[in-house]
Structure 1
Amino acid sequence: MRLTKKLLGLLVVTIMLSMVLAACSGDSTNELVIANSADAVSLDPAGSNDVPSSNVAANIYESLVAQDQNMELQPSLAVSWELVEDTVWEFKLREGVKFHDGSDFNAEVVKANIERVLDPDIGSPRAFLYSMVTDIEVVDDYTVRFTTEFPFSPLPAHLAHNGGAMVSLKVIEEDYAAMEDGEDPGSVINEKPIGTGFFKFDEWVPGQQIKLVRNDDYWGDKAKLESVVFKVVDEDLTRVAELKTGDSHISDPLSPSDVADIEETDGVHVNRQSSVSLSYVGFNMDKAPFDDARVRQAINMAIDKDQIINGIYDGNGVPAVGPLAPDVFGYDPDVPGLEYDPDKARELLAEAGYEDGFSTTLWTNDNRERMDMATNIQAQLKEFGIDVEIEVMEWGAYLEQTAKGEHDMFILGWSTVTGDADYGLYALFHSNNVGDPGNRTFTKDPDLDALLDEARQTPDPDDRAALYREIQELLAEIAPMLYIHHQEFLLGVSDRVEGLTQDPTGVLQLQNVTLKEE
């Protein structure tokens, strides 16, 4: 049969349309699709302190220092560093590195980035990471010196945090110019997140997905994938269904309740990674009755954490006695915590004037385990006359409102990403960090502040460890939180995915990931 010109034209259009639809469907054999429980809050490294944002940013940007799977520091954009004086660190930078916009990485860029994080006009929730830095000196194009207010041995670890990720100087200057025109800090960087990483930003459809593409001009070993899509799939079971059908290759996170299902399904498996994370219930110490330590201690003693860990998390993780995970420097296994003791809990409530209980609210985001935890805590506290109303909130609003102190009790997590107690304690409990930086319990204790300040200013590791023991003992008295557990990170992963690793901080390492053909 002969094709007319009209039919031939229609056939060509149909073929082209099919190709476009296939490309748009994310069906590329070299595109990794990650189903995430929440969207990023910001792609500006100075703009947020949440895991979904960090997971994306870790592929776009790089910091001076990196951490390996054992939380050991490794060179990244800096090739070496040394303490040249008690309060002066010198970093030698990698030469020949280009940003995604073609601009050069050098010492001026480092100075501009860290000064921007510290700029009060930016209002970065990560400013506490570098608050001890008093001067940044450009020695030459590839040498930079940091002077600190006091000896601060964790500085290289803090510079491994993605809060110290390097953004193109051109984009930083554009962002400041936009601020002069009335735009919010980070508005330009969010639209044009330009780093030096092995992936480049392609698009962000808020509430739906973020797409990154391979940086073929990367200074080191190039990513093996052509592209990565971080897709927002907030329902646990939907993420599992997408993993099974192949619509997604990774479910992040995987609910402990779904582990058995994945283990019994061909073509997918469970990835487990021990963590430096903490899950906790925080109390707003600015609000009654949580302004009374006896009430906070009583709730700690009223809750049987084994019900939560075994019943909701299927035994996944290590029970938390305090805020620090066992692999974090400064953790002390001998510090006593507030053990489950219902009789003592009732006694403390009576002393505080709440023998008959009280009414309160417990906030959580729409994470299945956290919602189940809230329901469990609600039931347990009812036995003490405490009437708990549960409120489930969208992630962005949840972070914003807990930062403002509009909550009573709340469920959240924290990961000590530097592997050092300073990050796991100073951010969560120092009065300087109330709100967005991490202190959502609104803890304001002068003695605690003094100890936290002294610990970060003490150079000797043994002396620091002793101070952190004292801090953890004091926290048991203050009881700003009910510490639940340090859980394993769980991922549902397609068997097609090879080369995937996950840090103890929860960040996925995608540089060496490949996808086997089906």
Structure 2
Amino acid sequence: MKRFSPAGALLVVLAIIGTSCAPGPGASAPTGSSEAKPKPGGTIRYGLVRDPIHFDPHVSAGQSSVSLQGSVYDGLVEYNDQGKLTGALAESWETPDPTTYVFHLRKGVTFHDGSTFDAEDVLASLNRIKDPKTAAPQAPFVSSFTKMEAPDPFTVRITLAKPNVTFLDRFVGDSNSTMFIASAADIASGFDFRKKTNGTGAFILTTWEPGGQYVFKKNPKYWKPGQPYLDEMIQVVIPDDKARVNALRSGEVDYVENVPWQELATLDKFSTYPYSVSWVMVRLNSGKPPLDNKKVRQALNFIVDRQEVMQLAFGGQYHVIDGPLQQQGNAYYWKELEGTYKKDDAKAKSLLAEAGYPTPADVPAMEMSVFSTFAAHNDPAQVVLQQFQKFGLKVTFKAIDVATLNANRGNGNYQMQMDGLSFSGPDPDNLRAFFHSAAVGHALAAKFKNERLDQLLTQGAETTNVDQRKAIYKEAEQIILDEAPWVFLLWRPTAEAAAKYVKGYIVVPGGLGGQNFGRWEYIWLDK
């Protein structure tokens, strides 16, 4: 039996200003499941583009990893199929004032090892995320809490120094910043979270083989009544894009992620789920010369022909990023910033000259690291590399694997790195996860810092007035574009595909496509 030490034997009397109560589990039926009643049973085989790098519920490792993490672990809150916040391990929450959140936890939930979930696990998880040794992307967020306490075993109270308008959304997390809840006992015992799992999620990881397959059995004690529908899920690693799609066609797998744009139109006999929430960009390490010079970083942005990259690498689909950092239609899309970085060789040469390089040949040799077996990175990288070389720069291609890609993001062991990312949602607070100087997502490792930008990104999260927020984030984007920490390229097409008998899968609306993964409790097979 788990011991519980209340944070003070006090009666907590809350003057409730507003309460948000979660609907019952499964209250929102996922799109695509309304045509028939879900059928329990069966095994789904899921084609992954790569191995999950590790299993740690507090350290993000991209889309393929979060599909595993999200199946094994749960967070306090989640998005439903309408893109609305709803309760997960927290049944409901309330905000007695703008800087206080009180979570009422779900009772009767157990971890896969049979131990009971309660507030002790939440506090231990948050403290582990905050611990610098964990290197969790959400550490700056959790470190901003002034107090975390548990008035009783099923209540957690968090106090902030200032309001944070994206507080609850941040608790959902995404493939860049996970916020799952682990067992306090595991955390205290030094459990190897990278290689072992013990969550409250819908599936239990039973066996796994790197480069092979990951086998999950349903959690018979899952807290969502009647779910998961599937008895078993097998994630199969198929790095080659063509082979992965052919595995779907042949029936070797039932579902695949990362369908190349060239293949999408050929899958008319399958269910396809196209969307775009992913950036393609080149990370620039501001801590390594010559990229420690802002003018060089700006010059690289003027050298690139984004339309050519989009045409050759992605068939001309979706939108270039030549200025605004949000998608068109977003309330924080600044049309007047369009064209900030259009191809302009003369401007690039002028900037390089100002940086002390009279000709492109005078710029020191640079290296671009690329996850070369992943077409969504390799194809645009090849185009950008040719453009740099045609301009006269000495840039070489360094092929890396996905584990190195992920490690480089955190340790800064690169000069330039082709990369991609998905925002957790449409709010511009996403920028803080990459461009605030304390951000594990980029700035910290790349030694990128702008004090005014830090102020704005912090202020934006604390400001509730919409007009004031717009002014803040417009200035923030202008600074980011001027600082040029990345070569901004485009929003790329993304898609999944499945056999017609796979039901219950959706693309979460509202710019939340990155939340699609880890919702396997809703999937069922109509066969």
Normalising to structure 1: TM-score of the pair? 0.85
Structure 2 residues not aligned, in runs of 5+: 1-40
2:436 to 389, 409, 430: 430
| Counterpart in the other structure of 2:375 | 368
Pairing 1:63-462 to 2, within 5 Å after superposition: 63-161=75-173, 163-175=178-190, 187=192, 189-221=193-225, 222-263=227-268, 267-275=269-277, 277-320=278-321, 321-326=323-328, 330-336=332-338, 337-354=340-357, 355-357=359-361, 358=363, 359-365=365-371, 366-422=373-429, 424-434=430-440, 441-462=446-467
Question: What's the CA shift for 1:362?
Answer: 1.1
Question: What's the CA shift for 1:386?
Answer: 0.9
State whether residues 324 and 334 of structure 2, in contact with CA within 8 Å, keep that contact through their aligned partners in structure 1.
no
State whether residues 308 and 373 of structure 1, in contact with CA within 8 Å, keep that contact through their aligned partners in structure 2.
yes
User: What is the percent sequence identity of the aligned residues?
Assistant: 26
Separation of aligned partners in 1, 2:346 and 2:460 = 36
Pairing 1:502-517 to 2, within 5 Å after superposition: 502-503=507-508, 504-505=513-514, 507-508=516-517, 509-517=519-527
Matched to 1:124, the amino acid is: A
State whether residues 324 and 335 of structure 2, in contact with CA within 8 Å, keep that contact through their aligned partners in structure 1.
no
Higher RCO by CA contacts (8 Å cutoff, separation 6 or greater): 2
| SS of residue paired to 1:108 | helix
Deviation per residue, 1:252-274 (Å, 9 max, x gap): 111112223334xxx43432134
Question: What's the CA shift for 1:481?
Answer: 1.1
Matched to 1:131, the amino acid is: S
Distance 1:440 1:237, change over 3 A: farther
State whether residues 71 and 418 of structure 1, in contact with CA within 8 Å, keep that contact through their aligned partners in structure 2.
no
State whether residues 361 and 408 of structure 1, in contact with CA within 8 Å, keep that contact through their aligned partners in structure 2.
yes
Separation of aligned partners in 2, 1:330 and 1:440 = 27
Separation of aligned partners in 2, 1:333 and 1:34 = 40
| SS of residue paired to 1:447 | helix
State whether residues 455 and 468 of structure 1, in contact with CA within 8 Å, keep that contact through their aligned partners in structure 2.
yes
Deviation per residue, 1:305-348 (Å, 9 max, x gap): 11121221123322223443347674444434322223322222
Matched to 1:427, the amino acid is: A
Question: What's the CA shift for 1:283?
Answer: 1.0
RMSD, aligned CA = 2.3
| SS of residue paired to 2:404 | helix
The structure with more radius of gyration: 1
Distance 1:293 1:313, change over 3 A: same
| Counterpart in the other structure of 2:13 | none
Deviation per residue, 1:376-435 (Å, 9 max, x gap): 11111223211221111110012213432221211112222144322x21121122125x
| Counterpart in the other structure of 2:45 | 33
Question: What's the CA shift for 1:119?
Answer: 1.9
Structure 1 residues not aligned, in runs of 5+: 1-28, 176-185
Separation of aligned partners in 2, 1:440 and 1:486 = 24
Deviates more, 1:387-396 or 1:156-165: 156-165
State whether residues 254 and 498 of structure 2, in contact with CA within 8 Å, keep that contact through their aligned partners in structure 1.
yes
Question: What's the CA shift for 1:441?
Answer: 4.1
Matched to 1:399, the amino acid is: N
Separation of aligned partners in 2, 1:471 and 1:36 = 36
Deviation per residue, 1:14-67 (Å, 9 max, x gap): xxxxxxxxxxxxxxx821111111111221211334222111111111111111
State whether residues 371 and 392 of structure 1, in contact with CA within 8 Å, keep that contact through their aligned partners in structure 2.
no
Deviates more, 1:328-337 or 1:221-230: 328-337
Deviation per residue, 1:187-223 (Å, 9 max, x gap): 1x34441222221221221232222111121121311
Question: What's the CA shift for 1:516?
Answer: 3.6
| SS of residue paired to 2:51 | coil
Distance 1:356 1:220, change over 3 A: closer
Distance 1:353 1:257, change over 3 A: farther
State whether residues 160 and 418 of structure 1, in contact with CA within 8 Å, keep that contact through their aligned partners in structure 2.
no
| SS of residue paired to 2:314 | coil
State whether residues 422 and 514 of structure 2, in contact with CA within 8 Å, keep that contact through their aligned partners in structure 1.
yes
Matched to 2:386, the amino acid is: A
Normalising to structure 2: TM-score of the pair? 0.84
State whether residues 270 and 492 of structure 1, in contact with CA within 8 Å, keep that contact through their aligned partners in structure 2.
yes
Q: How many residues align?
A: 473
Distance 1:100 1:497, change over 3 A: same
Matched to 1:207, the amino acid is: G
Matched to 2:189, the amino acid is: E
